[in-house]
């Protein structure tokens, strides 16, 4: 990239990668992964899985990771563990797990990457990723253009 015109002419994307791993002692959970409204997986999950997708750099990012069909058994566990959520090599789990919300049927909303209840884990940047990243990593105040 040698100049500004080349920069403007280049389509730019961010890479979102999600890695999940099931706990299957009481059967395989049904898991789903949706990124920016695109359902990338929705099925029984027996083994760890990684999914990557490219998102235009100016699109806010919303990641949904869900689990359903768990039969609760106090002796045998079924769960879904979020091993990694990475956006352009920026790892969100575990240091920024608190920015996600976990909606589940037990209404337990403590920050977690362990989905032990039927429900959905959602991370939403609201803003384009790099603006969100600037804010959550404490990069300081921004100058705003006068429009």
Partner 1 sequence: MRITNDGSYKFCRWASAESVDTDENIQSIDPIQWFQKNLSELRQGLLSGQEQPGCSDCRKMESHGKVSGRQRQLLKVGVKLETFTSSMKSSKWLPIFSSSQKDGTTDQYPQDWQIDLGNYCNSACLFCDPYSSSRIASEQKKLGLIQQLPPRAWCDDPLLLDKFLTTLKSSPRLSYLHFIGGETLITPAFKKILSALIAAGLHRQVSIGFTVNLTVWDQSIVDMLSQFKEVNLGMSVECLHPVNDYVRYGGKLQQTVELLKKWIAVGKQHNWLISLRTTPTILSVLHLNTVYQFALDNQISIESCNFLNNPKFMRPTVLPQIYRQAVIDKLQPFTKLTSHNTQLINTRDPNHYQSQLCQDAASYVSYLSTSDDESHRLPELISYLKKTESIRNNSVLDYLPEYEELFRTAGY
How many whole angstroms from its chain centre is CA 12? 20
Establish if 9 lies at the interface with partner 1 (CB under 8 A).
Answer: no
> SS3 of 122, please?
strand
**Closer Cβ to partner 1, 37 or 140, answer by number:** 140
> How far apart are the C-alpha atoms of 89 and 12, rounded to whole Å?
15
H-helix or E-strand spanning residue 130: helix 129-136
Establish if 139 lies at the interface with partner 1 (CB under 8 A).
Answer: yes
- Report the nearest approach of partner 1 to the CB of residue 11 (Å): 9
Scanning residues 17 to 36, which ones bind partner 1 (CB under 8 A)? none
Q: Residue 128: name the closest of 37, 60, 63, 62 by CA.
A: 60
- Report the nearest approach of partner 1 to the CB of residue 37 (Å): 20
**Closer Cβ to partner 1, 58 or 126, answer by number:** 58
């Amino acid at each position: 990239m040698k100049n500004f015109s080349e920069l403007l002419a280049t389509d730019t994307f961010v890479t979102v990668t999600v890695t999940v791993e099931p706990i299957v002692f009481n059967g395989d959970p049904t898991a789903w992964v949706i990124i920016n409204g695109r359902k990338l997986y929705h099925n029984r999950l027996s083994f760890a899985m990684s999914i990557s997708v490219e998102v235009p750099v100016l699109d806010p990012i919303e990641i949904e990771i869900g689990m359903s069909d768990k039969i609760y058994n106090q002796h045998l566990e079924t769960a879904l563990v979020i091993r990694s959520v990475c956006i352009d090599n920026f790892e969100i789990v575990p240091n920024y797990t608190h920015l996600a919300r976990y909606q589940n049927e037990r209404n337990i909303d403590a920050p977690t990457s362990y989905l032990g209840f039927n429900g959905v884990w959602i991370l939403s940047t609201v803003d384009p990723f790099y603006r969100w990243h600037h804010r959550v990593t404490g990069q300081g105040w921004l100058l705003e253009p006068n429009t």
